Amino acid sequence: MRKEALRTFLLSALIAFLLTFMLFTPWEQDKEARLFFKLIILLLMLTVLLSYVQSIKQAERIKRVELTYTVIRCSNCNYKLEREYREGDFVFKRVGICQCGGSLYIDMIYTIKPQRPSKPWLLR
Amino acid sequence: MNGSVEQWSSIYYMLSLLAFMFLILFNQRIQVIMWLMNITRVLKKLERMVDECRSTLINTMRKYGCTLEDLNYTINELLEFYVIEPVERDPFGVIRRLEHLINLQRGKFREIVGRLAPKADDVTRKNIENMIEASIAVNTLYRIVRHFFILGKKTKSMLIIAQLEMALPYIMRFAEAYFNAIKVFSQGKPLGDGIGPLVAGKLMLNAEKKVVKDDTVIAEVPFEGRRLIVIKALGPGGEVGKPGKVIEELVEENGGKVARIIMIDAALKLEGEKSGDVVEGIGAAIGDPGPEKFRIEEVATRYNIPLDAIIIKESLEEAVGAMKKEIAEAAQRVVDRVKELIRERTKEGDIVIVAGIGNTMGIGQ
C-alpha cells in the first residue's frame, strides 16, 4: 500500500517537473521535441492513473473484512438475540435458560461481507 | 531548418518501419512472453497460498501438542498425498472398490491427525482433517499449473501456454475458494455446504437423537401422523457421515416400506442465478464421489421408493466458505417446503426418510 502511494507520488512529481520544464523552455523552433515531450507526459499521466486505480482496488480488498454473527433463540418464546460470533459457538448449542424457562440455543451462524462502496465511473 | 525537419522525418519513418517489421515477425513471441509473464504472476500467488496453507497447518499442529521436529517435512509429504482411482475397465464392483479406497483415505487422515495433533478433541480433529483436504487441493492446483508452465517453456509450445493462460481464471477461482476455506475450517464456523445438515438439525431439534455408524446421527420425529426419520452427519466437527449406508439400512430395517426419501443438499448454481434459491427435483441429491449416491439409488430402485431432492443454490466459494446470511435464512424456507411436500405426497402412517446432506462443520444436532 505504502509502495503504491510512493510510486504515485514520484510519478506525479516527475510530471510536474516536466510540465514546468516545458513551460519555461523556448520550444518555438523545435516542434518534434515538443511533441516528444507531450507524449512522454501523456504516458506518465496514464501510468499515474493506473497506479491510482490499483491502489484503490487494493484498499478495497483490505477494507472488506467478513463479519460473523450468532443468532440465539428461545425454544419456547419469541426471544431472539444477535451477537458477534465467539470461538466455540456452533448451531444448536444450548447456551442458557430464557426468562420464560425455555432453553436458549444457537439458531444460526452467518457471515456477511460489507458491500463494496460505489466506484467512480472510471473504475466501473 | 527544412533540412533538419526532413532528416528527423526520415529517421521517424525508418524507426516506424523497423517497429512494424519487428511486430510482424515477433508478434507471436511477444504474445507468448506476455502469457508467460501472467502465468508466472499467478504461479507466485499460488506458491504463496501453498506456503500459507503449510504454515497454518504447522501452527495448528503445534497448538495441539505436536512435538515433531521435522514437522515441515511431514506436512510437505502430507500435501502430496493422493488416492489412485480404481480400475474402470472392468466396472464390476467398482463402487465397492472406490468405497474401500475412500474409507482407507479417511482412516489415513484420522491416523495422521491423531499423531500430529494429539491434544485436539474430536471436533477439532475433524476440522483439521478438512484443513488438510483443502490444503491438498490448493497444492495440487499449484503443482498442475507449475507442470504445464515448465512443460510449455521447455517445449516452447504455444498451445500449452495459451491453454494454461486461458484456464487460469477458472483455476484461480477454485484455488482461492479452497484457500479461503482453510481459515473457516480452522475456526469451525458453519460452511455454505452445511445447509443440508442445518435443515435436518432444525427438523430433529427437540427429538431424541441416536448416533449410528460412521459418524451419522438419526432421529425419529413424529409429524402429523407420519414417522419421519431424519438423518445428518454428526456435528459440530467437519464431517459428512455416511448417509447412503444409513438410508440403505433404514429401508432394509423397515422392509422397504418407506413412502419417500427426501434429500436436502447444497448445489452449485450457474452464473446469474441467485444464492439461497430453493429448487425441487427428483433423484439422490448428494455430491459424493459415488458410493453413497449409488447405495441410495440402488435401494430406492429395489423397493420402488420415490426420491425427492431439494437443493439450495450456491457458488463454489459460498459452498466451501463460511455460511452467508441469505443461505442461512433459506434453511427455514426449506424446512417449510419439506413439511409441505410430506403433507402433499404422503398419508398418515407413512414412513418418510429425510436426509440433510453436506459438511456439518459448526452445526450440532
Among A95, A106, A85, A70, which Cα is nearest to B364's?
A106
pLDDT at A113: 80
| Mean pLDDT on B186-215 | 91
Predicted local distance difference test score (pLDDT) of residue B74: 85
Would you place residue A62 in the very low, low, confident or very high pLDDT band (cuts 50, 70, 90)?
low
Q: B365: nearest CA in chain A?
A: A92
- Kindly report, residue by residue over A30-48, the tens digit of the pLDDT: 677 777 777 777 888 788 8
Q: What are phi and psi of A80, to 5 degrees?
A: -145, 135
User: According to the model, what pLDDT value does residue A40 have?
Assistant: 79
Say what percent of chain B tops pLDDT 90: 69
B347 and B300 inside one domain? yes
Inform me whether the pLDDT recorded for A123 exceeds 60. Answer: no
User: Is B46 inside a domain boundary?
Assistant: yes
What's the mean pLDDT in B10-16? 83
Cβ distance of B325 and A90 shorter than 8 Å: no
Position A9 scores a pLDDT of: 78
Enumerate chain B positions whose Cβ falls within 8 A of a Cβ in A.
1, 5, 8, 187-190, 198, 201, 205-206, 235-236, 321-325, 327-329, 331, 362-365
Asked if residue B311 has pLDDT above 70, the reply is yes
Check pLDDT > 80 for residue B178: yes
pLDDT single digits (tens) B72-96: 888 888 899 888 999 988 888 899 9
Q: What distance in Å separates the CA atoms of residue A101 and residue A121, rounded to the nearest whole number?
A: 56
pLDDT of residue A37: 74
What's the whole-number mean pLDDT along residues B182-197? 92
Q: How close is the nearest chain B Cα to the Cα of A83, in Å?
A: 14
Domain termination site, one of B129, B162, B187: B187
Report the alpha-carbon distance of residue B135 to residue B180 in Å, rounded.
Answer: 10
For residue A81, pLDDT beyond 70: yes
Q: Decide if B1 is inside a domain.
A: no
Chain A's closest residue to B322, CA to CA, is A111
Write the CATH number for B330: 3.40.50.1470
Is B363 part of a structural domain of the chain? Answer: no
If asked whether residues B262 and B319 sit together in one domain, one would say yes
Q: Is the pLDDT of residue B12 over 90?
A: no
Residue B291 pLDDT > 60, yes or no? Answer: yes
Is residue B204 included in any domain, yes or no?
Answer: yes
Whether pLDDT at A74 is above 70 = yes
Chain A residues touching residue B327 (CB < 8 angstroms): 110
Yes or no: say if B232 and B205 are a contact pair by the CB < 8 Å rule. no
Please enumerate residues of A whose Cβ is less than 8 A from a Cβ of B: 29, 32, 66, 68, 75, 85, 87, 89-93, 105, 108-113
> Rounded CA gap, A73 and B5, in Å?
84
B322 vs chain A: nearest CA distance in angstroms?
Answer: 6
Per the structure, the complete domain to which residue B299 belongs is given by: 192-356
Residue A5 has pLDDT above 80, yes or no: no
Residue B110 shares a structural domain with residue B197: no
Q: Looking at the structure, do residues B254 and B302 belong to the same domain, yes or no?
A: yes
Q: Do B5 and A68 touch (CB under 8 A)?
A: no
Is B324 in contact with A68 (Cβ distance < 8 A)? Answer: no
C-alpha cell of residue B100? 474401500
Residues B220 and B174 in one domain: no
State which of B158, B187, B216 marks the end of a domain: B187
Give me the percent of chain A exceeding a pLDDT of 70.
77
- In this prediction, residue B217 has a pLDDT band, given cuts at 50, 70 and 90, of very high
pLDDT confidence band for B3 (50 / 70 / 90): low
Residues B182 and B203 in one domain: no
Residue B53 · residue B179 · CB < 8 Å:
yes
Query: Which residues of B are less than 8 Å from A93 in CB distance?
Result: 236, 364
Q: Which residues of A touch B325 (CB under 8 A)?
A: 110-112
Single-letter amino acid, residue B276: G
Please name the member of B5, B235, B322 whose beta carbon is closest to the beta carbon of A90.
B235
C-alpha cell at A58: 487494493
Confirm if B190 and B198 have CB atoms less than 8 A apart: yes
pLDDT at B147 over 90: yes
Residues contacting residue B263 through CB under 8 Å, at least 6 positions apart:
B196, B284, B285, B286, B296, B307, B308, B309, B310, B355, B357
In a domain, B276, yes or no: yes
Instruction: State the pLDDT at residue B356.
Output: 95
- Pair (B211, B133) in one structural domain: no
Q: Same domain for B177 and B224? A: no
Query: A113 to chain B: nearest residue by CA?
Result: B324
Q: Is the pLDDT of residue A124 over 80?
A: no
Per-residue pLDDT tens digits for B158-175: 999 999 999 999 999 999
> What is the rounded CA–CA span in Å between residue B311 and residue B276?
9
**pLDDT, position A64:** 65
Last residue of some domain: B152, B187, B222?
B187
pLDDT above 70: percentage of residues in chain B: 98
pLDDT digit string, tens, across residues B316-363: 999 999 999 999 999 999 999 999 999 999 999 999 999 999 999 999
B253: cell is 430395517
ipTM of this predicted structure? 0.83
DSSP chain A: -HHHHHHHHHHHHHHHHHHHHHHTS--TT-HHHHHHHHHHHHHHHHHHHHHHHHHHHHHHHHH---EEEEEEEESSS--EEEEE--TT--BT-EEEE-TTSPEEEEEEEEEE-PPPPPPPGGG-
Count of domains observed in chain B: 2
Nearest to residue B135, comparing CAs of B45, B237, B46, B64?
B46
| A58 vs B contacts (CB less than 8 Å) | none
Query: Per the domain annotation, does B4 fall within a domain?
Result: no
User: Which of B6, B189, B204 is best to mutate for the A interface (most A CBs within 10 A)?
Assistant: B189
Is B365 a member of any domain? no
> What mean pLDDT do residues A70-88 have?
91
The pLDDT of B107-128, averaged and rounded, is: 89
Task: Return the pLDDT at A49.
Answer: 80
Contacts of B328 in chain A (CB under 8 A): 108-110
pLDDT (0 to 100) of residue A41: 79
Q: Is residue B64 part of a domain?
A: yes
pLDDT at residue number A2: 67
pLDDT score at A60: 66
Query: Is B159 within 8 Å of B31 (Cβ atoms)?
Result: no
Q: B218 has which bridge partners?
A: B210, B231
* Mean pLDDT for all residues in chain A: 79
Cβ distance of B364 and A85 shorter than 8 Å: no
B355: left (phi over 0), alpha (psi -120 to 50) or beta: beta
